[in-house]
Structure formats: structure tokens, C-alpha cells
């Protein structure tokens, strides 16, 4: 640890002093010159990541999430803005002088070295005493559940085991933050899901800050304490997984995180704290949250699993729209219904398959869709 890092740590530990964030980005911009034109890959990103947090940068390809992480690591230099690690300005500090490690999708293991040698590599380069190396490597292999596989080479291991070796090699150096760039992208679905749980367990056990880049919404929701959803170089929403899923801030977030239905309309009236949108001749959508007024154009999002599908008109007090089933897809745990409304909008409904359940509707049936007012979330139009 450098004197600067020790000073930052001491400041954080002083009685009454506020905790020093692990990572801070302040107005970070990254510009490239492409075909004679300036292109902004990252457009003024500002965020704070707490010590010990599992933080995810989530978004589609080309949204700027990997570039943002590379600026934290020092592999890219911001065009403008400031990067701080544990209170220290590292904007111009090279990667090898930042107290962070990075794990890539490719793992980058040394094929001629066995597991123990791969994990010990960084410690040997730093001339750590051999006894200390043996102790730390042993502890780390136990944490990633690879004890007993020390002599295996990468080619003799599964993708998940190789990923664990890459994690152990990064963590054994005791970085204050670990950056992970799409590390599970090369694994099959079942192994990827298992590794999501393992990564979260490992992060809790070692207690350091993880910053995770992914385009996979389920990964981010499963593992993260907080998520920054990025689009076109900007952060569209920064919040916990439940907040982002249940209360998306924008139409992009609503559509990108899982499956969501977006219904647009004009507020007909406001009654009992609910904005009432008229949908078709008979339908209504109730939005319980937010201050709305008659005549205001808004967009309302509702998740498919919140909706009940029925051939009977629902009772009052619920959002209710009428449509025709255009498709029914059996997906094991649930059925997915596509329902076309009179105005041409299409609504997706998920209905769980219980032991005693039967199909509620078939293709071509006229149905009612209903849901509680609190499940309609207005995001503006």
C-alpha cells in the first residue's frame, strides 16, 4: 500500500469521518476520433461506489460500460473528468499503480502453468516470501472451491473452474477493488447461473468492492447491490435491483430490464389519488403514484407477471383493458400470452403454471387483462 493510500484509509477510519467511497467518477467523458469526427463513448458519467459494494454497469453493446470500467482500471484515460480510488485522484495514474485488479471474459490463464502456479504468479513477481505465498494461495483456492486441484492445468478444467482460477489469481493480490468485464459470457446458461451465485458468495467472503460489467439483466439483478443502467454513454438509472425492476425511470430501462408493457395515453381524470387513463371504449389504466393532472400525456409500464388474464370483466378498482389473444407460448414454469388491444398495442402476460392450473385462454379468445393500480408505474411520455 502506498503512503497516499494509507493516508486515505486513515482518514476513513478517523472517528466521525464519513466513509471514503471505493470509487468515484466525476463528470467523466471519453471522446474518440473516428473518420475525422469526434465521437463521445462516455458522456459525463458521475457515480460513487461504496466500499465492499457489488456494483454493476449494465447496458447493451456500445453503451459505454466497458469504456467506463477501463477508465477506472487506468487502461483508458478520460478526455475530461476525474477518477478517484479511495479518495485519491488517479485520473493520470497508470494501471500498475492503481490498487485494483481486472478479470476478463477470456480468463487469460497461463496454459503452461498449473492452478497453483497461475494463482501464485502475481505474488512471486512482487517477491512475497514463499511461506506467505503458500498460505495465501491455499486460502484463496479454498474460497473459490478449488482445493485439491492445484496441479491441474487450464486445459484440464471446465470453463467454470477456469473462471475460478482467474478470480483467485486476481483476489490473492488483495486488491481494494476487483473489476470484472463480462466474466461469465463464455459459459453455458446453467453454469453461468451457478457462477452468479458463486461470485456473490465469494464477494461477500472476501469483502472487497466488485464492479461488474454485463449486458445480461438477470446477472445484474441476481448479484448486485446497486446497478447503473447505461445507454448511449449515459446513466439512465442508478438504483438497487428491486427499484430498477419495479420502478424504471425511463422507457429504455423499462424495456431493457426484463419484459415490460408500455401503455401510452392521456389522463382522463384523477380520483382517489389515481390517474385514470382511458384505453379504448371500455378499458382503463390506473396509475397510483405520482402527481398527475387531467389532459396530461403519460406512459405507464406494467410487468407481465403482475397481470391477470380472464374471460370475465374484472371488478372496479383495478386497471382493466380488453383485447384478443394473438399467441400462447408454453414455457414450462409459466405460459406467455400475447394480447392485442383495439388500438394496436400488444400486451405480454405471464401466468405461472401451478399444479392445478389449466390454460386460461386460447388463441383468438376475447379476454380482459387486469392488475392492481400500484403495479402501473408512470414514467412520462
pLDDT of residue 36: 87
Q: Are residues 214 and 291 in the same domain?
A: no
Return the higher-pLDDT residue of 3 and 202: 202
Which of 232, 254, 276 is the endpoint of a domain?
254
What's the pLDDT tens digit per position in 71-103?
999 999 999 999 999 999 999 999 989 989 988
The answer to whether residues 319 and 376 touch, using CB atoms and an 8 Å cutoff, is: yes
Which of 254, 283, 307 is the endpoint of a domain?
254
- Rounded Cα distance, 309 and 331, in Å: 17
The answer to whether residues 362 and 308 touch, using CB atoms and an 8 Å cutoff, is: no
pLDDT of residue 315: 80
Q: Are residues 246 and 268 in the same domain?
A: no
Q: Is residue 195 part of a domain?
A: yes
> Does residue 253 carry a pLDDT above 50?
yes
Percent of the chain with pLDDT over 90: 53
pLDDT of residue 366: 93
Which residues is 346 bridged to in the sheet? 340
Q: Are residues 357 and 317 in the same domain?
A: yes
- Rounded Cα distance, 35 and 24, in Å: 32
Q: Is residue 266 part of a domain?
A: yes
Number of H helices, E strands in the chain: 9, 20
Q: Which domain holds residue 303?
A: 261-378
Crossing angle of the two packed helices 159-171 and 130-143, in degrees rounded to 10: 140
Q: Which residues contact 115 (CB under 8 A, 6 or more apart)?
A: 141, 146, 149, 150, 151, 152, 153, 157, 165
Number of independent structural domains in the chain: 2
Show the cell assigned to 60.
447493451
CATH classification at residue 71: 3.40.50.300
Q: Is residue 14 part of a domain?
A: no
The answer to whether residues 311 and 368 touch, using CB atoms and an 8 Å cutoff, is: yes
The answer to whether residues 42 and 231 touch, using CB atoms and an 8 Å cutoff, is: no
Q: Are residues 239 and 341 in the same domain?
A: no
With cell 513477481, the residue in question is 125
Query: How deeply is 101 buried, as exposed, middle or buried, from its count of CB atoms within 10 A (0-12, 13-18, 19+)?
Result: buried
What's the pLDDT tens digit per position in 340-375?
998 888 999 999 887 555 557 899 999 999 999 889
CATH classification at residue 293: 2.40.50.140
> Does residue 297 carry a pLDDT above 70?
yes
Q: How far is CA 229 from CA 45, 62, 203, in A?
A: 11, 13, 21
Which of 200, 223, 254 is the endpoint of a domain?
254
Q: Is residue 138 part of a domain?
A: yes
Q: Are residues 120 and 245 in the same domain?
A: yes
Show the cell assigned to 133.
505465498
The answer to whether residues 208 and 175 touch, using CB atoms and an 8 Å cutoff, is: yes
Q: Are residues 250 and 281 in the same domain?
A: no
Amino acid at each position: 500500500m502506498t503512503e497516499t493510500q494509507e493516508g486515505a484509509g486513515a482518514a476513513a477510519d478517523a472517528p466521525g469521518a464519513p466513509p471514503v467511497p471505493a470509487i468515484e467518477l466525476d463528470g467523466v467523458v471519453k471522446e474518440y476520433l473516428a473518420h475525422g469526427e469526434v465521437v463521445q463513448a462516455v458522456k459525463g458519467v458521475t457515480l460513487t461506489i461504496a466500499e465492499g459494494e457489488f456494483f454493476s454497469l449494465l447496458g447493451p453493446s456500445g453503451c459505454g460500460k466497458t469504456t467506463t470500467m477501463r477508465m477506472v482500471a487506468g487502461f483508458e484515460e478520460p478526455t475530461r473528468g476525474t477518477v478517484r480510488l479511495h479518495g485519491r485522484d488517479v485520473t493520470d495514474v497508470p494501471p500498475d499503480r492503481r490498487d485494483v485488479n481486472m478479470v476478463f471474459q477470456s480468463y487469460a490463464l497461463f496454459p503452461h502453468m498449473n492452478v497453483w502456479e497461475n494463482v501464485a504468479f502475481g505474488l512471486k513477481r512482487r517477491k512475497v516470501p514463499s511461506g506467505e505465498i503458500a498460505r495465501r494461495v491455499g486460502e484463496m483456492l479454498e474460497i473459490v472451491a478449488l482445493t485439491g486441484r492445484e496441479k491441474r492445468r487450464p486445459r484440464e478444467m471446465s470453463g467454470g473452474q477456469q473462471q475460478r482460477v482467474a478470480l483467485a489469481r486476481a483476489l490473492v493480490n488483495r486488491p481494494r477493488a476487483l473489476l470484472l468485464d463480462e466474466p461469465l459470457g463464455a459459459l453455458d446458461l446453467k453454469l453461468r447461473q451457478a457462477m452468479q451465485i458463486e461470485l456473490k458468495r465469494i464477494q461477500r467472503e472476501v469483502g472487497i468492492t466488485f464492479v461488474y460489467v454485463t449486458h445480461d439483466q438477470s446477472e445484474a439483478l441476481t448479484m448486485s447491490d446497486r446497478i447503473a443502467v447505461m445507454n448511449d454513454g449515459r446513466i439512465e438509472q442508478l438504483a438497487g435491483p428491486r427499484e430498477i425492476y419495479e420502478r424504471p425511470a425511463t422507457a429504455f430501462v423499462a424495456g431493457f430490464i426484463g419484459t415490460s408493457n408500455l401503455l401510452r395515453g392521456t389522463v382522463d381524470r384523477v380520483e382517489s389519488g389515481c390517474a385514470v387513463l382511458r384505453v379504448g371504449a371500455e378499458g382503463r389504466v390506473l396509475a397510483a403514484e405520482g402527481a398527475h393532472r387531467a389532459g396530461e400525456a403519460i406512459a405507464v409500464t406494467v410487468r407481465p407477471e403482475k397481470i391477470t388474464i380472464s374471460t370475465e370483466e374484472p371488478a372496479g378498482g383495478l386497471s382493466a383493458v380488453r383485447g384478443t389473444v394473438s399467441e400462447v407460448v408454453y414455457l414450462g414454469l409459466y405460459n406467455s400470452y400475447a394480447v392485442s388491444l383495439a388500438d394496436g398495442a400488444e400486451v405480454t402476460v405471464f401466468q405461472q403454471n401451478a399444479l392445478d392450473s389449466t390454460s386460461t385462454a386460447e388463441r383468438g379468445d376475447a379476454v380482459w387483462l387486469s392488475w392492481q393500480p400500484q403495479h402501473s408505474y408512470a414514467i412520462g411520455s
